[in-house]
Amino acid sequence: MNPLGTHFQVWVGSWDPEEIRPAAEKAAAIGYDFLELPVRAPETVDGEAIARILEANGMFCTTSFIHTPDTDIASEDADIVAKGEALMYEALAKARDMGSTRLVGGFHSSLKKHDTARTPAGRQNAVDVLRRVAERAREMGIVMCLEPLNRYESNLINTGGQALEMIDEIGSDNMFVHLDSFHMNIEEASPANALRECGDRLGYVHLAENFRGYLGTGTIDFPAIFKALAEINYDGPIALEVFSAAVVDPAHSARLAIWREVWSDSEDMAGHAFKFMRDGVEAARG
């Protein structure tokens, strides 16, 4: 059975340990194995305190990272690229402090709506940085999983195929693909085929409905996704990543255009999703 987890913002808007504690307790009580926690601002994260909370609840964490425009490693500005690379090393150290063995997310470039296409020079900067960061991560025992984001959040990597191409250019066997059903629903002709294309290079999965509401209540073909995961023998983590303005912190809401309260009860959402994911995985594997 795949480890099942939730993004921490299913529960709370802040990663302060006093907010993470009840989130971990409630998630563990449902049956979840892990929480996904951000390290995009590593200086604000009390890694050791969070590690103790997770251990006390029999859980582990995965860690996610994204860039802002002033740390964009796909920029043509050498100072911005250097700042982004340095921040990624800090994020890896914080992830290690928290006991994480996976750094996931769209860390290839800044998350925002872009008005122009990326340049070849900017793309090459990202490849060069990620080649070095992947090796540092290996030394720390951390696997990196690169996430394609939809066209409204990235102008560099939008599909699983593009992620595979970039990973080939990076040339590291410590870099895998992270696929998210929300983004795939926008960018892929077939999310199931995108998963199959990644095969044993898939390292992390986010599940969300097309409108980030309750799983199974929208348009995404989850049985096809679970079937594809079974066909490629994917045994890695599967995380629920759904956001609602009722829970998510305002800055993150603005960044991701989360304007509606598509759900409001975290425990009900997480409980429903756990059963949905567990049953879907088990049914696909027979």
Closest listed residue to residue 103, CA positions, set 52, 176, 155: 176
Place of tokens 């006390």: 56
Q: Which of the residues are catalytic? A: 147, 241
* Cα dihedral across residues 149, 155, 160, 165: positive or negative: negative
Q: Can you give the C-alpha Rg of the chain in angstroms? A: 18
Q: SS3 for 46?
A: coil
242 Cβ contact list (under 8 Å, min separation 6): 7, 10, 208, 209, 212, 213, 215, 262, 263, 269, 273
Q: SS3 for 65?
A: coil
HSE (CB half, 13 Å, CA atoms) of 223? 3
Q: Return the H-helix or E-strand segment holding 88.
A: helix 78-97
Closest listed residue to residue 137, CA positions, set 94, 82, 177, 78: 94
Residues 19 and 115: their CA atoms lie apart, in Å, by 37
Residues 242 and 220: their CA atoms lie apart, in Å, by 14
Count the Cβ atoms, other than its own, within 10 Å of residue 101.
16
